Structure 1
């Protein structure tokens, strides 16, 4: 681990411990909730595909009743420039609505990962924009002993286009099953691409994300514990594998 990453981890942990108790998720009398948190990960893997190395990933969320707005980002430690060009920077904005206790959630997301220095964030012209607009539909089975969730995401507008400028409608399907073993919360994941899509480097149906994530916590004080996680990820389509470690900072 290089000096920059060591200093970043120390600064983030120190800031979190100092501010704990002052910056916590809040809920007012009308049921409006705000939440702030951030993950530090050893590498950033998206849907089974490597994006960049060690990264900090903050999130700011607002929710009321079944509606939520979330801003999520990822920034690596390469600085302004890297050996591969622009340093990684991603900003995702998601609006979602959960239909009561039905287990059904509908979402619309704006995904932008053009990188630090790319600028032109506010360029939304169809054939020029770097934004990817994606619709999602997720459902969790209403079974306490078998809480399997299924989600389908499709990019319906933005940069996801073929050489002729036509929308690819790239889609990704994911199944998640949470369970626990002693003090560790586990999630098994299987992600797949249903048809040919250049966005995921597939020529047809393909499995791109098989993963197992484990989460637990390290007790720091009587009132504060640090959640840590490790995730093993395999991408059969690209014949690639990853092992990610991270921790979460939240009130």
Structure 2
């Protein structure tokens, strides 16, 4: 589920992952594509697949509107049950002095071998699609904090709500970020019965020179899910292509 760089949709990866992309501009629009290779796919404090994963992304954006597709595929066949393909649409309103506001909706789909088929839109946890509207605010460059909120409105019996704050900063040539995410109440999806922090992390990213003309984007994230009874930590490394 992530969300991706998908900078305008900090949900999808926030500051935990940074994605390398190739962008082409045409008539005021931009088409971006890229792929991450990550040691583990960890989303909101949960490991999906316990496997090295390949995560391609494709976005089309222009005049504040962004439409995209993002996926995660486990390289270990045992993790195929949580393979994921997300579609999203979002819109960002930016100001020169007050930051930006983004809102949109994400459709999470899990194309596992035994999962419900693509056109199964049943509710109550029985369908193939989990629908989640989201909204976020990112402050100006003087204080670039991001506040993010999202709530499942389809296929989640608990209508789970997720809240997150993240803050980026830089030390020398390393981009760093802090993240604190929480389930807002009872949720079987997140394994919580009340407001509970489920996703605490610090991330670092930089480009590692390989040749005089090529540098490899590298990122590392330390993530902790302190949920009582299910506490776990992760150290994730990834590269962007």
User: Does the 8 Å contact 2:100/2:139 carry over to 1?
Assistant: yes
TM-score by length of structure 2 reads 0.84
- The yes-or-no answer on 1:248 pairing with 2:240 is yes
SS of structure 2 residue aligned to 1:124: coil
State the partner residue of 2:10.
Answer: none
Shift of 1:117: 4.7
SS of structure 1 residue aligned to 2:189: helix
User: Does the 8 Å contact 2:36/2:55 carry over to 1?
Assistant: yes
Shift of 1:230: 0.5
Instruction: Tell me the distance in 2 between the aligned counterparts of 1:43 and 1:116.
Output: 20
Structure 1 or 2, whichever has the larger Rg, is 1
Instruction: Tell me the distance in 2 between the aligned counterparts of 1:239 and 1:126.
Output: 30
Q: 1:24 to 1:203 in 2, by over 3 A?
A: closer
Instruction: Tell me the distance in 2 between the aligned counterparts of 1:175 and 1:24.
Output: 28
* Pairing 1:117-156 to 2, within 5 Å after superposition: 117-118=114-115, 120-127=117-124, 128-142=126-140, 144-156=141-153
Instruction: Tell me the distance in 2 between the aligned counterparts of 1:204 and 1:119.
Output: 30
State the partner residue of 2:86.
Answer: 92
Q: CA RMSD in A?
A: 1.6
User: Does the 8 Å contact 1:89/1:116 carry over to 2?
Assistant: no
User: Which one of the candidate residues 187, 196, 199 is aligned to 1:206?
Assistant: 196
User: Which one of the candidate residues 24, 38, 42 is aligned to 2:35?
Assistant: 38
State the partner residue of 1:56.
Answer: 54
More helix by share: 1
User: Does the 8 Å contact 1:88/1:116 carry over to 2?
Assistant: no
* Pairing 1:2-21 to 2, within 5 Å after superposition: none
Instruction: Tell me the distance in 2 between the aligned counterparts of 1:172 and 1:58.
Output: 24
Shift of 1:169: 1.4
Instruction: Tell me the distance in 2 between the aligned counterparts of 1:116 and 1:42.
Output: 22
Q: Deviations over 1:164-197 (max 9, x none)?
A: xxxx210100111000001100010000111111
Q: 1:91 to 1:51 in 2, by over 3 A?
A: same
The unaligned stretches of length 5 or more in structure 1 are: 1-22, 162-167
* Count of residues in Structure 1 that have an aligned counterpart in Structure 2: 214
The unaligned stretches of length 5 or more in structure 2 are: 1-20
Instruction: Tell me the distance in 1 between the aligned counterparts of 2:45 and 2:57.
Output: 21
Where do 4+ consecutive residues of structure 1 move more than 4 Å? Answer: none
- The yes-or-no answer on 1:230 pairing with 2:226 is no
State the partner residue of 2:183.
Answer: 193
* Pairing 1:105-116 to 2, within 5 Å after superposition: 105-113=102-110, 115-116=112-113
State the partner residue of 1:11.
Answer: none
User: Which one of the candidate residues 145, 161, 175 is aligned to 1:171?
Assistant: 161
User: Does the 8 Å contact 1:208/1:235 carry over to 2?
Assistant: yes
Shift of 1:145: 2.6
TM-score by length of structure 1 reads 0.81
| Deviation larger for 93-102 or 146-155 | 93-102
User: Which one of the candidate residues 53, 68, 71 is aligned to 2:69?
Assistant: 71
Instruction: Tell me the distance in 1 between the aligned counterparts of 2:123 and 2:183.
Output: 24
